[in-house]
Structure 1
Amino acid sequence: MTAQGDTRDEPVLYAETGTRPWILLFGPVLAVAGMGLESLAPGGVSVSLWLGVGLLVFLYTLVLLRSRRRFLRVELTPSVLVQGTTRLPMSQVTSLRPPDEEHHGVRVLGDGPVVPRRLQPVVLRLSDGTRAVAWARDGAGLRRALEDLLRTRAAS
């Protein structure tokens, strides 16, 4: 890790982008489908209307995609766990809590007060004795990657 916190040279052990880019196709597909259906009706197609609708939906989904990629991103490298815009140095993580451990009232990593909807929690024990909740769409996959990293770190 460089002085500025750059982890690009490190291997990525686990990653989730937050959302898939195919969602951007919704606006153009909607516009084409609307023009296709309207062509079956008498009076012709309002091409400019459908292009405008497609563009507005595209711009909305672009904003949605960018915000989800920023705030729901998960990345684990040997030196840092990234949860949204929060970066937790892995040197602070000492162990994982059992999967069924209650996590209400525990500090959630990332940018919100609770684990984001449809994401699974992974409770971490930190070096200062406190707990923190990491999260991922595939909570079991993140847990396995963290366990492997902690096991490798303990062996060396």
Structure 2
Amino acid sequence: MSTPEGAAEPVLFAEDGSRPWVLLFGPVLAGVGIALESLAPGGASVPLWLGVGLLVFLYTLVLVRSRRRFLRVELTPSTLVQGSTRLPMSHVSSLRPVDEEHHGIRVLGDGPVVPRRFGAVVLRLTDGTRAVAWARDAAGLRRALDDLLRARATS
């Protein structure tokens, strides 16, 4: 399946890696800290709380950006993206059974193992090897991959 130059492919499955609302934790912490401390004798230490809020915001910003880079999952008709790894769907021949053990099989993405709290989907590649794809919603990724492979087989 090819798309015209500049046309975006439909996204069949996607996970961002992290939610952007997490970035609100630092500012909310600063606001709550200022509000609670203003009730105490002596008033609030506004610069201190703003500094704490800024530090927490910067820390969560680094976390969110790295999680969005390394834990991103996206499936289009032509490509499966796992972190910064791109696997052409033309290299995937089938899915392995759900209960198949995936230890010792090459994991797609940037790490040596399936990320914590992510489920595994074992793929059989056209060269006969196996690879492990992963997602928080592994069943959803499996369904999207299965639908795509069935559609490719009937066309």
- Please give the TM-score of this superposition, normalised by the length of structure 1: 0.95
Which portions of structure 1, spanning 4 or more consecutive aligned residues, are displaced by more than 4 angstroms?
none
Measured in 2, the distance between the counterparts of 1:9 and 1:54 equals 39
Partner of 1:27: 26
Q: Which amino acid letter does the alignment assign opposite residue 76 of structure 1?
A: L
* SS of match in other structure, 2:26: helix
Unaligned runs of 5+ in 2: none
Q: Deviations over 1:72-109 (max 9, x none)?
A: 00000000000000000000000000011000000000
1:120 CA displacement: 0.3
Is 1:66 the counterpart of 2:29? The answer is: no
**1:121–1:133 Cα contact (<8 Å) kept:** yes
Partner of 1:141: 140
Unaligned runs of 5+ in 1: none
Partner of 1:10: 9
Q: Deviations over 1:51-75 (max 9, x none)?
A: 0000000011001000000000000
Structure 1 vs Structure 2 CA RMSD: 1.4
Q: Which amino acid letter does the alignment assign opposite residue 44 of structure 2?
A: V
Percent identity, aligned pairs only, is: 80
Q: Deviations over 1:103-134 (max 9, x none)?
A: 00000000000000000000000001000000
1:1-150 alignment, distance < 5 Å: 9-150=8-149
**1:24–1:61 Cα contact (<8 Å) kept:** yes
Matched positions, count: 153
* SS of match in other structure, 1:105: coil
Q: Deviations over 1:15-64 (max 9, x none)?
A: 00001100000000000111111111111110000000000000110010
Shift in CA distance, 8/31, structure 1 to aligned 2, threshold 3 Å: farther
Measured in 1, the distance between the counterparts of 2:83 and 2:6 equals 15
- Please give the TM-score of this superposition, normalised by the length of structure 2: 0.96
Measured in 2, the distance between the counterparts of 1:56 and 1:76 equals 35
Shift in CA distance, 69/34, structure 1 to aligned 2, threshold 3 Å: same
* SS of match in other structure, 1:110: coil
**1:7–1:77 Cα contact (<8 Å) kept:** no
